Structure 1
Amino acid sequence: MIAYVYRLATLLTCLFLLTSCWSSKELNEIAIATAIGIDKSDEGYLLTVQIINPGEIASDSPTNRTATTTYRSSGETLFEAFRRLTVQAPRKVYFSHVQIVVFGEEAAKSGIVQPLDFLSRDHEMRTDFFLVIAKDTLADQLLNILTPMDKISSNKIVSSFYMSERNWAPTHTVKLDELMYKLSTDGNEAVLTGIFIKGNTELGKDSRSLEKTEPPTTVQIDHIGVFKNDKLVGWFNEDESKGFNYFTDNVTSTIVNVPCSNSSTGIEVIRTITSLKANLENNTPHIDANVRVDGNIGDVECDIDITNPQTIRKFEAMVEKDIQSKMESAVSASQDKFNSDILGFGALIHREHPDQWRMLKNHWNEEFKNVEVDYTIHATIQRTGNITDSVQRKDGE
């Protein structure tokens, strides 16, 4: 009898631990959202949601229908705008597969904290989506542009972000957790990368534009947008954006062009390691930036002997100079143009010198402008490629 009761109790305990499908929904009951656009409107917010047309994605037979449909609604709050989608969308919109959230530039300039509250609070939203800014346009316009190599434009944007960040370096992918951390941490300001529409916006909405080998409209990745508190205050150019990524140890690979005779040589950066250290001299903050760079020669367009070790060392010195110049431009723009500590100097001082930070915190805006940076950059060129000399060098030279 005791053994029977024991087995029954064990069975009942296991039953209580089993999960059920109380919240399950069939695919034909939901509309899967892949992208969200947030703009300012007279009512408060203009919300644009890109929905997948599953029949077009799964079908092997091409039709005239697009792979996605966009719905839009307005509301005094973002939550209200989301609920108003129900009067248009034929199914409940499912947000767990959202890949990207796009802020219109005007919405970013007016502040992003309030919409971020909803995005981080809603239980259906995951935190692994990217956040970007639609530069010089509305998010609504950008999400309606059709892309030629991918049926779903949000997939194209995400792929372009990955490729640009890993191979060119003037962009920076930001997910919700990182953005919330930057906005809530003392001595740190946020950044978001921009995307823009190149070409005719109206033609880009027409599926016939995809029938051309050179589409009249494309969506392209831009440079880094600088925030002060939660408001967009301006844009870095390409060199400043690359300098920012060198500071934040976010350069995986890029190209550095160095001059030689009447042309240039392309150095492929294949690896960088950046370390920052904060020092306080008479309560004046200094930052020591140490960057180690590994690279290969990728392109020689001048008559020069690359088998000569002195030539290699000369190239290494020019790479070091180029990287320092870009980092200096990022510091100058952050301090003088925007007065925004996107480089995280304040947070670095907070971690390494918490007692001194308490004295600097309340007037960090003024102190940040005067922070000096000392650079130590060491570049090493490891390989010269499959050939050991320039094709422009004549035989016998």
Structure 2
Amino acid sequence: MRAYLCIGLLCSVWMISGCWDRTEINDLAFISGTSFDLTDTGECCLLSVQIAIPSSSQGGLGGGGSGQQEKFFVLSAVGKNTSDAFQKIQMKSSRRLFTSHRSVIFIGESFGRHGINEVLDVFTHDPRQRLRTYIMVVKGGEGREILQTKYPFEQLPIEAVKEMEGLGTELAVTLRDFFITAASEGISPVMGVIEAKDYSGGNQEKNKIFKLAGSALFKDFKIIGFLDSKQTNGFAWATNRKKSGEIDASLPNGNGNVGMQLNHAKRTITSRIIGDKIQVKIQLQGEGSLLENNTDLNINRPNNLKLVKQALEKSVETEVREVVADLQKRYKVDAIGFGQEIFRDHPKQWKALKEQWDLKYPQVDLAIGVKLNISGSGMSGTPLQLKEKEIKK
């Protein structure tokens, strides 16, 4: 009897079990990108989301089958905070908004200069928010402008931004990176920058395209300045973000230029405190091969290769020194993390320096050492366009 009772109970459990709280995919609206902007009256905040249109839902959007069908649309709403604006957007959608597939969050420049602290809190508490989402500043424009811009290679423009960030040609920062830096001692956070540009000289929206455009500097969660692409490259060296890429250098006395493909890179940083003086040394190392030789030198010769190597090392040193000088003198923001290194190496001295770091940071003495290893000259040995007598042995 007991056996029949157990079997009956098991059968009843099996019959009443199931995914009672499941949500069908057809009931979800997948958000691919989000932007934050100020309103026309300067209020906070204007939230916009880019939503992908499922292929099965595109039948009625093509104008009777003529013309290109849309792959996405953008919804916006103004709220007193992120949650309020999000709920107002939900009221405009027939499907439940789903954020877990979002790739990028855009911050309009005006909004960034106003301060982004108020909109960041939701990303630290809401488990639906992915911390691996990229976050970027839209220089000279609004975030929703990027959401509305079409991109020829991808059905969803946000996918193009995600792929561009993944290539590592510019600074790529995720929510997680930003939060970790913002919560750390002696360092200020940065973000990657994107711009919407007219690539054909016209004013029509269809001629717009976006491009990565350096990095944005933050202090107290407000944008205080920008680094262009060249400066961002030096910044990547100084912050140990540089892993590969290209180095260009001009030889002395107008003797042409060379290019190197960097395959590996490494940065070490040390600090010393002697009395009232703070010294920081950045040591950079890299390895790669030459790609281009626009000189009259036969770089297969050790002496000539040494000249090329010195020119490349000087180019890297100058690039890093110039960006550090801008950060120290112009912006007065420690985005590289000199203070962070002092906090790690000299915690007792950092307690005394912490409150006056804004005054001490511009006075830090910087030494930079660069050592590049050229493992091969590849196809850039002797310039093929020069005659034998024109080549310097």
Output the TM-score relative to the length of structure 1: 0.87
Alignment of 1:113-152 (within 5 A): 113-152=117-156
Match of 1:49?
A: 49
The 8 Å contact of residues 309 and 372 in structure 2, kept in 1 or not, is answered as yes
Does residue 252 of the first structure (1) align with residue 252 of the second (2)? no
Match of 2:31?
A: 33
CA distance in 2, matches of 1:391, 1:21: 70
Following superposition, the deviation at residue 202 of structure 1 comes to 6.5
Q: Deviations over 1:176-231 (max 9, x none)?
A: 11101111222110101110011179633xxxx4xxxxxx2211000111111211
Does residue 196 of the first structure (1) align with residue 195 of the second (2)? yes
The 8 Å contact of residues 120 and 176 in structure 1, kept in 2 or not, is answered as no
Match of 2:309?
A: 316
Following superposition, the deviation at residue 123 of structure 1 comes to 1.9
Name the stretch that deviates more: 314-323 or 98-107. 314-323
What amino acid maps onto 1:259 in structure 2?
Answer: S
- Tell me how large the CA RMSD over aligned residues is: 2.6
What amino acid maps onto 2:204 in structure 1?
Answer: L
Q: Deviations over 1:37-70 (max 9, x none)?
A: 11112452111100011117999x9962211111
> Which of 300, 303, 328 matches 1:307?
300
The 8 Å contact of residues 293 and 380 in structure 2, kept in 1 or not, is answered as no
CA distance in 2, matches of 1:52, 1:394: 59
CA distance in 1, matches of 2:374, 2:285: 11
Match of 1:325?
A: 318
CA distance in 2, matches of 1:138, 1:27: 31
Match of 2:185?
A: 186
Structure 1 stretches of 5 or more lacking a match?
210-215
Alignment of 1:155-304 (within 5 A): 155-163=159-167, 165=168, 168=169, 171-199=170-198, 203-204=204-205, 209=206, 216-260=207-251, 262-304=255-297
Summarize the Cα distance change of 1:84–1:269 in structure 2 as closer, same or farther, 3 Å threshold.
same
What amino acid maps onto 1:275 in structure 2?
Answer: T
Output the TM-score relative to the length of structure 2: 0.88
The 8 Å contact of residues 58 and 70 in structure 2, kept in 1 or not, is answered as no
Structure 2 stretches of 5 or more lacking a match?
60-64
Following superposition, the deviation at residue 302 of structure 1 comes to 2.9
Q: Deviations over 1:290-331 (max 9, x none)?
A: 111112110122322111111111111111111111111111
Q: Deviations over 1:314-353 (max 9, x none)?
A: 1111111111111111111111111111001111111111
What amino acid maps onto 2:273 in structure 1?
Answer: L
Name the stretch that deviates more: 321-330 or 263-272. 263-272
Following superposition, the deviation at residue 22 of structure 1 comes to 5.0
Structure 1 runs of 4+ off > 4 angstroms? 56-59
Counterpart of 1:143 in 2: which secondary structure? helix
The 8 Å contact of residues 95 and 124 in structure 1, kept in 2 or not, is answered as yes
CA distance in 2, matches of 1:106, 1:388: 50
Following superposition, the deviation at residue 160 of structure 1 comes to 1.3
What amino acid maps onto 1:29 in structure 2?
Answer: D
The 8 Å contact of residues 304 and 393 in structure 1, kept in 2 or not, is answered as no
Counterpart of 1:73 in 2: which secondary structure? strand
CA distance in 2, matches of 1:57, 1:368: 57
The 8 Å contact of residues 141 and 201 in structure 1, kept in 2 or not, is answered as no
Match of 1:212?
A: none
Following superposition, the deviation at residue 104 of structure 1 comes to 0.3
The 8 Å contact of residues 57 and 67 in structure 1, kept in 2 or not, is answered as no
> Which of 339, 348, 362 matches 1:346?
339
Summarize the Cα distance change of 1:105–1:56 in structure 2 as closer, same or farther, 3 Å threshold.
farther
Does residue 367 of the first structure (1) align with residue 367 of the second (2)? no
What amino acid maps onto 1:48 in structure 2?
Answer: S
Name the stretch that deviates more: 384-393 or 280-289. 384-393
Match of 2:62?
A: none
Percent of pairs identical after alignment? 20
Summarize the Cα distance change of 1:389–1:83 in structure 2 as closer, same or farther, 3 Å threshold.
same
